Structure 1
Amino acid sequence: MKVLIATDKPFAKVAVDGIRKEIEAAGFELALLEKYTEKQQLLDAVADANAIIIRSDIIDAEVIAAAKQLKIVVRAGAGYDNVDLEAATAAGVCVMNTPGQNSNAVAELVFGLLVFAVRNFYNGTSGTELMGKKLGIHAYGNVGRNVARIAKGFGMELYAFDAFCPAEVIEKDGVKAVSSVEELYSVSDIVSLHIPATAETKQSINAALLGRMPKGAVLVNTARKEVINETEILEFMESRPDFKYVTDIVPGNDAEMKEKVGGRYFTTPKKMGAQTAEANINAGIAAAKQIVDFIKNGSERFRVNK
């Protein structure tokens, strides 16, 4: 049984060591493809793999077709829109994610970005404080719950909307559940995005929604690039000089954003949410354990395709 780690952005060595320990203890072989520069290298590497561990790497129909022995793909992280689920299902391949392993890392980044934003990007001018501000959490999953936990320490008022999470689950954490996306944006000084990129959510964060937010509002996006209507957010920010946008996902119109609203907009050079030593290790080892459990016991606990 051959398990391939295919990572354009490699795991830390300690994470690879932990993965290797789990895989080899199960009697499986581990192979590494790191920092590859061409898709053909990935196609060649998957040819005899039975299982693949990835990060943000693209596993599309071509990759799945090249992996004739493939049984399972595990995305070390929460999001899995970089895997073609339909192609995997058609080929009889199980796809899993590792929910919760990166959640604290992403949540801490949210507050790193927020403090930076409300202090006017440390430009020497007087900013504002997070204490007493109304924070809207858009999607109350693992990351959203960690955001709520940290926000309490800042003394913020917490609101959340999640179409799939019962209100009583949200409210038992001391967070006010609202009944619609529109209500969340209307009531919140700050909104933190944690929605996945789906047919329903893509480009859903638009001018009409952001226009509901009060003066001095901040949007922080550590979720997905695709959920933002990038054309509209730029136009909106030009019309609302009080509004700030911070993200760890470089927009397609980054250069134009910097040129036109640069004093109120910030993006990290690449996606940073899971870029901590702890998250790197946790997600990688969780992926290895899930592969072993799937191969040996048939466990599909974290399966995300049908």
Structure 2
Amino acid sequence: MRVLVCDPVSTRCLEVLKDAGLEVSYQPKISAEDLIKQIPEYDAVIVRSRTKITSSVIEAGKKLRVIGRAGAGLDNIDTKAALARNIIVVNTPESSTQAVAELTIGLMLSLARKIPLGDRGIKEGRWLKSEMMGIELKGKTLGIIGLGRIGRRVGAIAKAFGMKILVYDKRKLPEKLIKLLSAEVVDIDTLLSKSDFVTLHVPLTPETRHMISRERLAKMKKGAYLINTSRGEVVDEEALYEALKEGWLAGAALDVFKQEPPTSEVVKLPNVICTPHIGAQTVEAQEAAGERVAEKVIKALGLR
């Protein structure tokens, strides 16, 4: 059986696939056009976030049995089309939990202490100490929207900083978990109005697209900060631009965007910190994602 790997993965991923007797074609820069042409020859395909497995790709994949996503989000895979063809879709949400949580905290600290401004100033020959009065995380309220694996880990780290934790999740949350985080479960409007920092940890679905809308941004506490390491379209970028430009929000940190690379004006604002979708971009997370997606693909193909 043959596996096509369309995005950069760890060496360990390729080793595990080959050790199972699979023929592996590693093409981490494959174009959408070449993918359509080649997919009919493969039993499985593995992607990260770059490659889109559309309904057209799935239709062309006559032998396709498994789609593997090395990472968490499935918004680059047409899961409905896969289900219609009885194609198994596997992913590795557990692999990037620590990496994304640490980036979220890092972005929060960068906003609180204006770290990028200080770095940029010194490199430009400017000593901006007087412009860099920051705030401490201790005693501040963190609102976590989405208490899955990443949201929970962010909450645990934030608690260690001495932050008060507010949580919103559409699911019923275990009381033991809430007690462990010393958190308070509230509705989304209460969370927005009381939080000094709001961090987003939800998948992109029709329900969560523009979850942070113009109306909800207006409900946020004046002078608050927004951090998004989930998916770009969870936030209305135009509305966020206005809220930041007008000074309603003190700042935002964005690792994800509606379009990547981004074209939105929001990235040009001085009170916005941007990173190029690096939430899972650590050696440890990529090693784990690669090995686990390989193991899940092998199992789905019936080889273990």
CA–CA separation in structure 2 for the residues paired with 1:23 and 1:81: 24
Equivalent residue, structure 1, for 2:124: none
Post-superposition Cα deviations, 1:177-206, rounded to whole Å, max 9, x if no partner, equal 423111211221101101111111101202
2:101 maps to 107
Are 1:34 and 2:24 an aligned pair?
Answer: no
Aligned to 2:123: none
Unaligned runs of 5+ in 1: 299-306
- The answer as to 2:106 corresponding to 1:97 is no
Question: Are 2:271 and 1:288 aligned?
Answer: no
Aligned length: 288
Aligned sequence identity (%): 35
How much has 1:279 moved relative to structure 2? Answer: 0.7
**Distance in 1 separating the partners of 2:207 and 2:38:** 35
Distance in 1 (CA, whole Å) between partners of 2:263 and 2:111 is: 17
Structure 2 residue 210 is the aligned partner of structure 1 residue 203:
yes
Query: Which residue matches 2:117?
Result: 122
Question: Separation in 1 of the partners of 2:90 and 2:184?
Answer: 29
For 2:263 and 2:162, the matched residues in 1 are separated by 33
Aligned to 2:272: 265
CA-CA distance at 1:175 after TM superposition: 3.7
**Aligned partners of 1:240, 1:44: CA distance in 2, in Å?**
50
Structure 2 CA distance, aligned partners of 1:297 and 1:179?
A: 46
CA contact (8 A) 1:250 1:267 kept: no
What RMSD, in angstroms, separates the aligned Cα atoms of the two structures?
1.9
One-letter code of the match for 2:244? M
Partners of 2:231 and 2:176 in 1: how far apart? 24
CA distance in 2, matches of 1:289, 1:88: 20
Aligned to 2:219, the other structure's residue is in SS state coil
User: How many Å separate the matches in 2 of 1:211 and 1:143?
Assistant: 26
> Which residue type is aligned with residue 106 of structure 1?
V
Unaligned runs of 5+ in 2: 119-127
Alignment of 1:1-306 (within 5 A): 1-7=1-7, 10-11=8-9, 15-16=10-11, 18-36=12-30, 38-56=31-49, 57-120=51-114, 121-123=116-118, 124=128, 125-251=132-258, 254-259=263-268, 262-268=269-275, 270-296=276-302
Deviation at 1:296, TM superposition (A): 1.9
CA deviation string 1:95-150 (max 9, x = no partner):
12112101110111111111111112434311111111111111011111111122
Q: Which runs of 4+ in 1 moved over 6 A?
A: none
Residue type matched to 1:73 in 2?
I
State the alpha-carbon separation in 2 of the partners of residues 258 and 149 from structure 1: 29
CA contact under 8 A between 1:194 and 1:222: conserved in structure 2?
A: yes
What secondary structure sits across from 1:211 in the alignment?
helix
Residue deviations 1:30-88, cap 9 Å, x none? 2111122x312212332211111110110001111121110010111111010011111
Instruction: Find the aligned partners of 1:194 and 1:174 in 2 and give their Cα distance.
Output: 16
Letter in 1 for 2:223: G
**More deviation in 133-142 or 148-157?**
148-157
Contact (CA 8 Å) 1:159, 1:184: kept in 2 or not?
yes
Aligned match of 1:301: none
Equivalent AA in structure 2 for residue 246 of structure 1: A
Q: Report the AA paired with residue 4 of structure 1.
A: L
What CA distance in whole angstroms lies between the structure 2 residues aligned with 1:177 and 1:255? 34
* Structure 1 residue 251 displacement after superposition: 4.9
Report if the CA contact (8 A) 2:233-2:258 is conserved: no
Give the deviation of 1:216 after TM superposition: 2.4
TM-score by length of 2: 0.88
Residues of 2 paired with 1:126 and 1:196: CA distance?
35
Distance 2:203 2:270 in 1: 28
